[in-house]
Structure 1
Amino acid sequence: IRSDVLERTFAIKWITGFISRSDVWLAAIDVDADQDDEADARSQLVDTASQILSAFSSVEPDDDEAASIIRTFSFSLGVEESKMLDVQLNDAALLSEDHTSVGLQSWGSAIILAERLCKSPDHFGFNMPSGRKLRVLELGAGTGLLSIVAAKLSPSSTVVATDYHPDVLSNLALNVDSNFPRAPSHDSVSVHKLDWESPSFEAPFDQPFDVILAADVVYNPQHAQWIHDCVERLLTKPGSDDVHSRRSGDGGVGVFWLIIPLRSIGRHEGLYETVDAVFGDAERQRGSETGWKLAILERQELQRHAGGVGRVDEAGYRLFKIGWAR
């Protein structure tokens, strides 16, 4: 279909119409009746349609290779936009029989956060005091966009990119090598498996990280809690002298940046709300006698990008700044 312009145009038009009317179709399920299987099946169809449409929007019609594509991203550095940071990624085909393979492709959330990192790296914690080497961790790195951007923004940093699925990890390592061809991968970005549910804290996870990044990583109601528990163990904690003088994101105090798409249809509908529920607002921790707790320090609503960035089921994005509060 990708090579046939007429067929491709018809398919895109039909799928777009189906998705635009899907809210009515999904709402037609009688929640009081025994129709759970029907509701799940309909949600799965909408989600599959969104993935197909996203694949069409990211591949040129005359692309001969449908299994995988090479995507090049160019991000403006700083506010003057006179310099660019380039990243080249291999987006592999999703494994239709395995929903955990979503990391084989680059999603809109990572692209939007990467843009913001390049615009203002200091704002995101890339400003360590002299004499200290910044440690950066990406959870659910997927194709590795954020990790590669972090390593290019701060070449002296230690950047660790993690994921779970073996095929995703292989593609991730391939992308790291292609973006740093003149240096051993361990000198730029190291790739490691990390199981959020049962994490191992052996090296390189035996030392805390100053900045943790994650984009579009909540696909299950349990994911937010698993991520919370990992970050609680892996994020640099404030020292005894930091009670009033510094906060998360300042040099030496860890910060976790999480961006989540706001999906209002499909089987991932509303999962972004689990992040708010699990982490909670920092104001709730003020005056607590239980010590430092992870909490949401800031949240920002972001609009969709024009030009095909992001899936059609993504109404917008929510960027969380999460750190230590008491």
Structure 2
Amino acid sequence: MSSKKFQSNLEKLGIDTTSSEMQVFRAVLLAAGCTSRSVNYDEIVRSLEEIANKRYTKAYIYRRLNDLEEQGFITIDTIHTPRTYSITETGVAKALETKRKVKLADHLTKKQEVTTKLNRLKSVKSQELALMLHKQLVGAQSIEKSLVIEGIENVRSNIIREFADKAEAGDLIRVLGHVSTLAEGLGPGGVTELRLIQSGFRGVKVQGLLTPVESEKLNLNLMAGHLTPMVEVFEQATKTGNIQLRFTPEPIKTYRIICLNEDKMLLYLTHAKESDVAALIHRSDNPGLINDAIKTFDELWESGIDVLDILKKMLQKKSS
């Protein structure tokens, strides 16, 4: 091992060969002439003065010797008088190994802290932050009139503001969507589904009914894979008993909707997964349309297949 490499390894262990502590250690070693030979205090003092070319107080030297003993670098014989000091290769090796383990533990702790921060950073969703920032700055003002919403981001933000955030304990959110919402992955808009799921923590009942489109097949394993990034939230939310998920065995020709109780409804006006046009309809403006939509949903819900338990078991296997 080169001198540079040796010095680098010592520094990694937190050992500074120019420190006063290491100077005293060197003085003991030089005074002994070899390992295992014991030396007394006077011999150490003479050796130290030759090395440093200056005098030290007795208290200073004893303090350094005690520090070296505590770390395991030297052994002090306190039985005989005068007391003697010795260095063994085994003792030094054990002392260095102890320092190595301490440094390793420190690095592992720091690594864990960095990993935790990295995971938290990965979980941050820019869209969700933007919505929360907007809510904090201007307040979450509900839209009181029915209107057509254009733009994918506007549709998402309205779902969160008008349904996920507005729902209170005891409320019911009905969601009728396509199987592809989960089968193809949540994508950038996953924060919308996440916020709907999180409302279950507040006591909001969420009924999710997914229906296949034409020849679309029900692939639960694929869906479980796409739910994996939010597995913790999903599992915790389902434990509340407020999240329910069912599938219709056959394709249903109907528009996707989200309803909050019987008060208002978001009606998707396109069949694209990331719909960029939707209508927000309040009961006061069109009670008949909302009643028909809820009736259709409830009928489909009764005949739907409950697959929540199956999905939860699949998620547990994927996360284990």
TM-score by length of 1: 0.22
Which is higher, the Rg of structure 1 or of structure 2? Answer: 2
TM-score by length of 2: 0.22
Greater share of residues in strand = 1
Greater share of residues in helix = 2
